[in-house]
Amino acid sequence: MDLTPIFNESLRRHNKPPAKPQKFDLDSVEAFLKEAYRINKHISELNQYLHSIRQSYLSAAHPPRRKLARIDSSSSTPRSEKERKYLTDAQREQIDAETKQLLRELTGAIKNLADAEKVRQSADETIALRKRATKGLGALGRWAAGGAITAKSPEEELEEAKQNTIKIHRDGVIWFLNRKLEETGAFQASMMEIRLEREREKSKSVLYKTRGVTMPPMDDPSGDYGAGSGSRAAALDDSSGKQVEQQLSEAQLQLFAEENQDMLKHYEDTLDKVR
């Protein structure tokens, strides 16, 4: 809430000129805040980007080729804006990798900022102690003057209050950046979890459909379950398997392989127990 109008009204009642508005200039602020603003800007941009692609990232729809061809030839809008609705599996994996890398870089930047602030606070405390020791006769002089050895002068108390205010403010800035980055990371992680869960369900659905096609009906009117039917079933299994492999991505094929390994290990363990 902007309290400037209320403050100016109080000044007017006392016949004082109103406060002059100050324009924010990032170049004029101190190095700590300049770096904090830079980190906050990158976090905000990443958060905005993730929200903008969430729908297309989680969508299983494929881009229509004719529509993309018209966009490339006649549209003046950047291609990335037009194609944002559709993403391939490779693009999703690239987004995951780049987002994780950026999150790591931002985490490191916040840590470096916090470490630099700790060094500054430690240096200020050391300088303040040296000033107290060298001013006049130091603690002995204050005691001889009738004051306590640990007593502080008004100037020292004012400087200490100033440093405490700066410390509290900067600690709050670092906490805010960490909290904002954690929320962005949690949002990106939730997108990945939803996507992987949908991919798993989709893979299971395709696998079940394939099994349904390859299984011969029990009430086959031909009644031919001899060697000929076995060869036909094997050929059908082989052709269906190739069709499924063409429909699945590398990630889905890897998922199937891992599930098969887990199932095989489970059966082997069960067989060992029976033996």
User: Tell me: the pLDDT tens digits for 111-128?
Assistant: 999 999 999 888 888 887
Kindly give, in sequence order, each residue whose CB lies less than 8 Å from that of residue 159, ignoring residues fewer than 6 positions away: 128
- C-alpha distance from residue 116 to each of 43, 63, 174 (Å): 20, 48, 11
The pLDDT value recorded for residue 18 is: 85
The pLDDT value recorded for residue 60 is: 74
251-259 mean pLDDT: 69
Q: What share of the chain is helix, strand, coil (3-state, %, to 5)?
A: 80, 0, 20
Please give the residue that has the higher pLDDT: either 154 or 215.
154
Q: Name the strand (E) or helix (H) holding 92.
A: helix 89-134
The pLDDT value recorded for residue 206 is: 59
